Structure 1
Amino acid sequence: MTAPSGVVVLTDRLVARGGLDRVVAAAVAGGVRWVVLREKDLPRAERAALAADLRAILADVGGTLVVAGPDPLGGDAVHLPAAGPYPPPPHQLVGRSCHNQAELTRLTTEHYATVSPVHPTRTKPGYGPPLGADGLRKLVEVSRVPVLALGGIETPDQVTACVRSGAAGVAVLGAPMRSPDPTETATTLTSAYAKAVTPELTQTRCGVTPELTQTRRGVTQVPTSGLRPTVPTQGSSLTARSGHGRPQPQTATKEGK
């Protein structure tokens, strides 16, 4: 299982407009292929059922659900807090929240890390101080695993700056969860990421030759087209877990993670 890259959505059902699974389905329609399920206050059975719902949405496009905490809830991908557990559980994909160099150097078998906060964030006001682009770059340079930038990332320019600082992707919560149009928000952010990691083309005497303008640990080139599969946001019956049922896609478009 590859490490997350691109735009990764973190869930928060308490601020999701229109229900959590509808927001996730809309973000998937905008190009998102990685989702981290938080909702740690829910009972395990309810959270596991929600995980199954979100996995089904992501499965339609070959996406992946990562579960925050050591319990993968029937999957094999988890994201752990900086405080533990240590050593990490032996799942196929393990991420870790980090905030400084000491936490990054403590990593052992984790496959990726989030670094935060890059910018001030409404989700955790007063948390910081913010790293900014320079602080992010310094932590990326010392990390032995791909890094996702996290915290207050809401605009295309911020996505571009994070990629230029060496991040393999960005993790976002507020931008898609609070958006009146999560599909449009996701499309805008995924397009900014794709543009930031796509090599500029230079004309040569023999035609067009791709030229990499940057090198980034853990970042792979992605196409700028085909980022918006058709996943309708009108759905089925309501659920107590997220507020709405999973939209039923008209076509299933398989894409690589």
Structure 2
Amino acid sequence: MAARSTNQCTDGYRLEAQENLSPGLYVHVPFCASRCTYCDFHVASLRIPVVRDYVTALVDEISSHFANGFQPRTIFIGGGTPSALDLASWDKLLATLSKYFKTDLIEWTIEMNPESIDANKIEIALSHGVDRISTGAQTFDEKGLSLMGRRHDARRVFEVHQLMAELGVPRTSLDLIVGWPGQDHESVIADLEAVAAIDPDHVSLYHLSYEQGTWLDAMRSRGVIDPLLDETCIELSRQFLEGLSRQGYQRYEVSNLYKRGGESLHNLNY
């Protein structure tokens, strides 16, 4: 895997100079092809007529905020699965944000899931000014991916990061989860090796939580799955953090690490 960052973050926006980043704009795209087993976010089924009505409503709201003088410095589009939008809706939403807000932006992030990323969507995003893509890998362990209800396999994560490198995505981030049932030290080693191969500018490392109403919580309550002991989760988390540190990542928030100036400027608004 030869994918390497083309990070273009300048020193003027480094971590030590973040006093006046606000305001930031978060845009929620709630649609998913299926719900992950740990997810308790507000999500909706991926039905194209509903998706297009929602994007039209977003466009109207964005236009209204612009008319009232709102100008964000950062944009973060999350979900849900923003990359699950059909191509027309994807272009419409990004074109609207670009039309009104691109001039003053210092960072524009969009979340994409590996199974719904393709060259067309990346090229459209770049053409409108998106300069940071966050990919929800969660793990490179196939058993873990299946347990968490992810729709991609490990190979696909490598493929999309290679594609992003080829298309010149300026900055990339990778999401990982620690503490899923069955995770062990060997799995963490494999995840760390994958991170080293992909070499993103940013890693988000989230602890799995059993939220009420999720499939994982229901299976835990029925005794179908055995959650890891707290001590094991701590050990695995420490292993992740030490391994990422050896790769040059610095921790700047509880769940976020960066290198090469790749910290999320949007996160620093909070």
Would you say same fold, with TM above 0.5? no
Which TM class, normalised by the smaller chain length?
0.3 to 0.5
The structure with the largest helix share of the pair is 2
TM-score where L is the length of structure 1: 0.38
